[in-house]
Structure 1
Amino acid sequence: MWLIPLTRRTPDGKTRTWRSRATPECRVYLSRSRVAVLVGPGTASSGEGVAIAFRARPGTRFLGQPTAGLATSNTTFPLPDGGALFLTTSAMADREGTEYPQGIVPESVVRDEQDAFTAAKEWLRLTP
């Protein structure tokens, strides 16, 4: 079964963890597989949430450029005049409780997408 935890922490310190569920289509046990996560400035919001789910996972390496730093949950509060106030109400955190307000900085920083892809292939090929 393939489970990816993602923790959300609110400003008052409360946390809630979600875990993915295996589907009938996912028949491979992936928990011990190596994973190369490619990230960059276009990795934002829910994309960062997916990346954060892989943070602190054994056998995982992040390659690319720093992410956008938008791994947050937001809430809209209606205003009496018909307007709305859109506020960040919690931040996503990895399995160790680390938040990434400035984005995720990969272990292997490269110049562009193609370099990240090439570096990921090389790392996956050479790492036992």
Structure 2
Amino acid sequence: MVNNMKITVIHPFSLRLASDKPVREFPAGVHDITEEEHGHWFLKACLKEGRALPLADEAGDEGGELVAPTKAQLMELKATELKTLLEQAGGTVPPGNPSKDVLSDLLLAGQEGVTLVKGPDGIYVRLAE
């Protein structure tokens, strides 16, 4: 493993490291990755395109690569902040008074062309260019 490298997959994909190796499926969610997977051109492309993101505080020396916030980090925000992030991401805030848990899950589910980013100044939405 690359320093316990984990990624959050937003848009599922498959990875085959070599023709004689099995395909590894990456469904939406959190996954540990090996050093060999981390260095593979296709996984690097998926990270660049926002299909997957390194987990917060684990990007290390990746040259300023964007990192996704964890659910725990989202839960630290106020409900109003989560609603604002969800609206900025193009999501729909459920009617009534949705819990922070529900709002966090909706944010982590992701929207097409939207990346949720944890930066030095907090958590924000980044739209695809």
Identify the TM-score tier after normalising by the shorter chain. under 0.3
TM-score, normalization by structure 2: 0.26
Between 1 and 2, higher relative CO (CA 8 Å, sep ≥ 6) is seen in: 1
Structure 1 or 2, whichever has the larger Rg, is: 1
TM-score normalized with structure 1 length: 0.26
Q: Larger strand proportion, structure 1 or 2?
A: 1
Higher-helix-fraction structure = 2
